[in-house]
Amino acid sequence: MITPRLLKNAARVGVILVLIAMAPVLRTTDPGLPSGRMEAHHMIWGYVLAWLSGVGFPRLRRTHIAAALLALTAAIEVLAWRGVGFLQSWLWDGLGVVAAIAPVWLEQFRRLARHYADFSVGAAVCTAKQREWLRMDQAQVLGSVSGRR
C-alpha cells in the first residue's frame, strides 16, 4: 500500500539519485552543445531537486529548502568550475529551484489574501503569527491546569 511515509522516503532516495546522476553531467563541457541546451539542463536539475526535496522533507520550510539548494548548486558549480559561465549556470539552477517552489509561495499568498482581504501582507502575516502565539499560550495554560506538561 502506498502511504505518505513511503512517498516521502522514495522522494528522499530520489534526491540522492538525482545528485549522483548530476555528477557525470556536470563534468561534460561540450562547447558543441546548442545554445540554451545547457541552461535547460541546469534549470531542470534545479527544478527536480527542489520538487523532490519538498516532497521528501515536508516539515522543512520551502525557503530553507531553496536556500540550501542554492548553496548546494553554488558549491557544485565551484567544483565543476567552467570559468566565466559559473554565474550564468548558477542563475539557471536558481531559476529551476524557484520555479519548483513558487507555487507553494503563491498558494500561501492566496490563502493570506483570502482570509485577510483588507489587510496589507505584512499585517496579515503579523496577525497569523499572533494567532499562533495565542494558540501556544492557550495550550500551555490548559496543560498546566490539567496537570500535564
Q: pLDDT tens across 30-88, in order?
A: 555 555 567 777 788 888 888 888 888 888 888 899 999 899 888 887 887 766 677 88
The whole model's pTM is what? 0.61
77: left (phi over 0), alpha (psi -120 to 50) or beta: alpha
Express each pLDDT in 97-143 by its tens digit: 988 888 888 888 788 777 766 655 555 566 666 777 667 766 666 66
pLDDT of 15 > 70? The answer is: yes
Q: Which residue blocks in 28-120 are alpha helix, DSSP H?
A: 37-56, 62-79, 85-115
